[in-house]
Amino acid sequence: MSRRLGQHARLRPDRMEEYKRLHAEVWPGVLSAIKACGLENYSIYLKGDELFAYFEYTGTDFEADMLRMAQDPATQRWWTHTHPCFLQADEQEFYTDMEELFHLD
């Protein structure tokens, strides 16, 4: 059974174009890590400076898989480019989890 997750974040206005450019051509190693860690149907939406991310987790140990992703060298390099784009770049949390209120299969 998959677990659906929604997340929210805000971009720095001066880094929005850079963030969009990076996501127009996500590195193959990052895409492989995302899939290897059980994330599917991953989407990121932008409105103004606000980001909404949606994905489904299909693994069995979310915390362990997220730790594995955080330790992946390609993902770590990717984050050196993406993290400065976030408004809260000086904090540890870039995306905030959202509460699911409704879902229809």
In the predicted structure, residue 35 carries a pLDDT above the cut 90 = yes
pLDDT at 95: 86
Task: Name the token pair of 77.
Answer: 């390099």
Four-residue CA torsion sign, 12, 36, 74, 66 = positive
pTM: 0.88
Quick one: pLDDT at residue 92? 61
Active-site hit among 8, 23, 81, 83: 23
Q: Could you tell me the pLDDT band of residue 94, with boundaries at 50, 70 and 90?
A: confident
- 78: Cβ contacts below 8 Å, ≥ 6 apart: 22, 26, 27, 29, 30
pLDDT at position 89: 60
Catalytic site includes residue 81: no
Candidates 3.30.750.24, 3.30.70.100, 3.40.50.970, 3.65.10.10; CATH matching 3-97? 3.30.70.100
The pLDDT of residue 77 is above 90: yes
